[in-house]
């Protein structure tokens, strides 16, 4: 379902109003006062979050984010606040960024926080969006879409709920029995709720879902409000044990390992990072420029939703790193994906119409417009991803490690021969038998090298050789955007354009091959007619890398299965895992698309934070999926 932004409307008195629901967004007396009295105090805050590691709030309707801003401000003002605050919210009709700015301008006390929220405000695309705010200490996980879908798909344990829809009579679907049951399912032991509504249907619905409620003094014109607490015995849901020692051993310093190191460092972990190469970003992640963009589909399938989430998060991660003083060599110059023929062009147009995503994210352009964008002749029209572009992977590695700072102890030039588990955790052992690092948690981020570890023998990581060609280019020449069609060509970066790439499974040849350059030039010629004629395959330079591919083209993110314990049922939850052993691999031809989101997902899993991906997508990337459904043998492609 496309996301239709909310219209900015006000009542004659200036209160934020929705004509679609014929109701106001907040108490006409004072939005901030309502947030403080009803939602914050109504949930026993700030006291309940004090001295805790983390506190998680779930809200039903995000609206203009006024409750969120008030909560964030209250948390900042509290010297005894929890270390990390998680706010999860759902919104079917989000405001456009510029409207949010106009709304927030009426609360100057929040100016700095509101500006930070607006700066990270996501592209209004369906699904989950993870915003890391306030130096990573405040996390907003925002589901854009219907709350019933969002609450069914979100993976989180809430300590408190804000029930804030429009009036139940005008907005019944946000106060339904289904919503209340979903909230109960997401509740941590002792979870509380608060809402301004005391409607009988709300109290009854909450009671049926297992919440005890009582009426207390309301705010403004409302005499009463509702407070509640989950009544069920907490035995069934003992909270997951928090990590005791925040210390991880990460094998591999490509984009998988480096982005993870940064995410863990921000959460207060120590990281021992070990790589066989002399420096970060020397394996598959060593290219001059790669493409970071989504892959939409007519049915918005898993690949489509995952690449959209990964691309949006990837660009937000790059912006965050830059804002913290760690710029990544990259340019969101836009990506043109040209159709291979008229039939595909029509299909691409249909995808754009069906998904109805914001045009700055995905648009359809005909051949004439595509040529204008590219600045040269193109073979066809197709998709225009104006917010996408190219990224230099080694620079992403370097910026991530710089941001992680002294939390990372890196050892380069150290090939790990094997991993061994003992009572303390995992040890990385080199060829002479000595242990070079040890930690309770180990993450295999070794690209195709994952295949060399016995403990990961059940993971079907496949090596896919890729050769990229470097075409000499002058600054400012066309194309100034990335162009794709079968292959891709980047704008000029440091005097060359990257054109690629070949894809050959189980081919270990590290030498550059003229035939592969010729292949890349053929693809180039097919998208930009005549462009390749000035280059000779025999004289080009380039780079060879080995992609860690996966049979279903989806990454492997999470805990590694224990192959010695066959699952009793063909379900992910029934698959036994090796304690403390995790993997980040299988990134295939889309490492830039997966890396930042995968790192955030694994770091969130390790910390038992709310997850940044919906449940179905977490399951799609779970490494144990190959135990439940062994991969079909057959062709592996990009
Ligand atoms: C030609 C080519 C073009 C590509 N184009 C794009 C693109 O346009 N867009 C995109 O998103 N992706 C692209 N990719 C894919 C992307 O580059 C990869 O998916 C990504 O780099 C994989 O990152 P990684 O960290 O998993 O692996 P790597 O970067 O290979 O890192 C793994 C690291 O582990 C280390 N290691 C391995 N074994 C051991 C061991 N036993 N002990 C210690 N260290 C070990 C290695 O030295 C290496 O540094 C391309 C890849 C290639 C090859
Ligand atoms: C009262 S307003 C919330 C105000 C908000 N909490 C704030 O602090 O600004 C209710 C919000 O719920 C949203 N909403 C209504 N029905 C919804 C649904 N089924 N799923 C998701 N959001 C919904 C509305 O679009 C609206 O933004």
Ligand 1 pocket, residue 254 CB under 6 Å: yes
CA nearest 192: which of 200, 183, 179?
183
449 Cβ inside 6 Å of ligand 1: yes
CA of 255 to the centre of ligand 1 (A): 7
Give the ligand at the shortest distance from the Cα of 276.
1
> What is the reported pLDDT for 163?
98
List, in order, residues 6 or more apart from 27 with CB less than 8 Å away. 33, 34, 196, 219, 220, 221, 222
Element (H, E) at 398: helix 393-404
pLDDT at 235: 43
Tell me the CA–centroid distance for residue 149 and ligand 1, in Å.
35
What residues contact 611, with CB distance under 8 A and at least 6 apart? 154, 155, 156, 601, 604, 605, 618
Round to whole Å and give the CA distance between 275 and 443: 12
Q: Cα angle vertex 591, ends 590, 593, to 5°? A: 65
Opening angle at CA 580, ends 579 and 586, nearest 5? 105
Residue nearest atom 18 in ligand 1 by C-alpha distance: 591
Rounded distance from Cα 146 to ligand 2 centre (Å): 10
Distance from the CA of 54 to the center of ligand 2, in angstroms?
25
Largest CA distance in the chain: 82
Atom of ligand 1 nearest to the CA of 546: 53
Phi then psi dihedrals of residue 341, to 5 deg:
-160, 180
Q: Among all ligands shown, which has an atom nearest to the Cα of 104? A: 2
Tell me the CA distances in angstroms from 24 to 28, 103, 168, one per residue in order. 7, 13, 13
3-state secondary structure of 158: strand
Q: Cα–Cα–Cα angle for 271, 275, 280, nearest 5°?
A: 85
Residue 189: per-residue pLDDT: 93
Report the predicted TM-score, pTM, of the whole model to 2 decimal places: 0.97
Rounded-to-integer distance, Cα 146 and Cα 182, Å: 13
**pLDDT of 195:** 98
Angle at 206 between CA 203 and CA 212, to 5 degrees: 85
**What's the pLDDT score for residue 630?**
81
3-state secondary structure of 547: strand
**Total residue length of the chain:** 638
Q: What does DSSP assign to residue 505?
A: E
The set of residues, in sequence order, having a beta carbon less than 8 Å from that of 200 and lying 6+ positions away, is none
Tell me if 89 CB under 6 Å of ligand 2.
no
CB neighbours of 581 closer than 8 A, spacing ≥ 6?
A: 419, 421, 426, 442, 444, 455, 456, 559, 560
Q: Would you state the pLDDT for residue 145? A: 98
Atom of ligand 1 lying closest to residue 255 CA: 25
Cβ-proximal residues to 212 (8 Å cutoff; 6+ apart), any chain: 228, 229, 230, 231
Tell me, what's the pLDDT at 632?
Answer: 76
C-alpha 368 – ligand 1 centre gap (Å): 37
Q: Which of 518, 510, 509 is nearest to 540 (CA)?
A: 518
Closest residue to atom 25 of ligand 2, CA basis: 93
Which amino acid residue places its CA nearest to atom 6 of ligand 2?
62
Is ligand 1 within 6 A of the CB of residue 400?
no
Q: Is 67 in the pocket of ligand 2 (CB under 6 A)?
A: yes
Structure tokens at 467: 């050769």
Q: How many CB atoms lie within 10 A of CB 423?
A: 4
Whether the Cβ atoms of residue 54 and residue 86 lie closer than 8 Å to each other: yes
Mutate to test the pocket of ligand 1, among 309, 547, 637 (most ligand atoms within 8 A of CB): 547
Query: Which among 66, 107, 68 is positioned nearest to 85, based on CA atoms?
Result: 68
Ligand nearest to C-alpha 397:
1
* Cβ count within 10 A of residue 190: 13
pLDDT along the chain (638 residues), means of 10: 95 96 93 96 98 97 98 98 98 98 95 97 98 97 98 97 97 98 96 97 97 96 94 59 83 98 97 98 98 97 98 98 97 97 96 97 97 94 98 98 98 98 95 97 98 96 98 93 96 95 95 97 94 93 98 97 91 95 98 98 97 98 93 75
Separation of CA 466 and ligand 1 centre (Å) = 11
């Amino acid at each position: 379902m496309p996301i239709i932004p909310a219209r900015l409307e006000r009542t004659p008195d200036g209160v934020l109003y929705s004509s679609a629901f014929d109701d106001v967004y907040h108490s006409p007396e004072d939005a901030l006062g309502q947030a403080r009295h009803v939602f914050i105090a109504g949930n026993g805050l700030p006291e309940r979050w004090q001295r805790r590691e983390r506190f998680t709030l779930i809200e039903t309707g995000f609206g203009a984010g006024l409750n969120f801003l008030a909560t964030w401000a209250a948390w900042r003002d509290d010297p005894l606040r929890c270390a990390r605050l998680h706010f999860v919210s759902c919104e079917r009709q989000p405001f456009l960024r510029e409207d949010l700015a106009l709304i927030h301008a009426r609360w100057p006390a929040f100016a700095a926080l509101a500006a930070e929220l607006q700066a990270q405000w996501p592209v209004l695309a369906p699904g989950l969006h993870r915003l890391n705010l306030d130096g990573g200490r405040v996390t907003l996980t925002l589901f854009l879409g219907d709350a019933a879908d969002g609450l069914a798909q979100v993976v989180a344990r809430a300590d408190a709920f804000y029930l804030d829809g429009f009036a139940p009579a005008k907005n019944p679907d946000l106060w339904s029995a289904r919503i209340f049951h979903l909230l109960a399912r997401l509740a941590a032991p002792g979870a509380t709720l608060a809402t301004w509504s005391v409607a009988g249907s709300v109290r009854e619905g909450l009671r049926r879902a297992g919440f005890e409620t009582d009426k207390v003094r309301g705010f403004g014109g409302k005499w009463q409000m509702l407070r509640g607490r989950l009544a069920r015995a907490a035995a069934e849901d003992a909270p997951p044990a928090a990590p005791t020692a925040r210390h991880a051993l990460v094998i591999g310093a490509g984009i998988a390992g480096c982005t993870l190191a940064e995410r863990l460092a921000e959460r207060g972990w120590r990281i021992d990072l070990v790589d066989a190469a002399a420096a970060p970003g020397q394996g598959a992640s060593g290219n001059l420029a790669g493409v970071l963009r989504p892959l939409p589909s007519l049915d918005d399938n898993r690949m489509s939703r995952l690449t959209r989430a990964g691309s949006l998060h990837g660009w937000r991660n790059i912006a965050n790193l830059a804002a913290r003083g760690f710029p990544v060599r990259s340019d969101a110059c836009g990506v043109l994906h040209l159709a291979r023929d008229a039939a595909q062009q029509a299909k691409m147009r249909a995808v754009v119409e069906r998904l109805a995503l914001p045009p700055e994210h995905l648009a359809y352009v005909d051949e004439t417009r595509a040529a204008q964008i590219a600045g040269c002749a193109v073979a066809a029209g197709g998709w225009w991803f104006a917010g996408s572009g190219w990224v230099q992977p080694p620079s992403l590695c370097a910026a991530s490690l710089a941001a992680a700072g002294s939390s990372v102890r890196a050892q380069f030039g150290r090939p790990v021969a094997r991993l061994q588990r003992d009572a303390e955790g995992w040890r990385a052992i080199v060829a002479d038998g000595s242990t070079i690092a040890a930690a309770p948690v180990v993450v295999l981020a070794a690209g195709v090298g994952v295949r060399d570890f016995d403990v990961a023998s059940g993971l079907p990581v496949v090596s896919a050789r890729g050769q990229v060609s470097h075409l000499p280019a002058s600054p400012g020449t066309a194309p100034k955007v990335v162009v794709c069609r079968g292959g891709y060509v980047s704008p000029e970066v440091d005097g060359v354009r990257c054109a690629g790439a070949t894809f050959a499974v189980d081919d270990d040849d590290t030498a550059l091959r003229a035939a592969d350059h010729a292949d890349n030039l053929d693809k180039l010629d097919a998208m930009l007619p005549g462009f390749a004629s000035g280059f000779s395959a025999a004289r080009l330079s380039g780079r060879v890398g080995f992609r860690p591919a996966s049979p279903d083209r989806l990454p492997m993110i999470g805990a590694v299965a224990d192959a010695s314990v066959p699952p009793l049922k063909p379900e992910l939850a029934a698959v036994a895992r090796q304690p403390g052993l995790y993997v980040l691999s299988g990134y295939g031809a889309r490492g830039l698309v997966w890396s930042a989101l995968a790192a955030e997902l694994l770091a969130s899993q390790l910390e038992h934070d709310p997850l940044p991906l919906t449940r179905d997508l977490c399951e799609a990337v779970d490494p144990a999926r190959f135990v439940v459904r062994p991969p079909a043998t057959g062709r592996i492609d990009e």
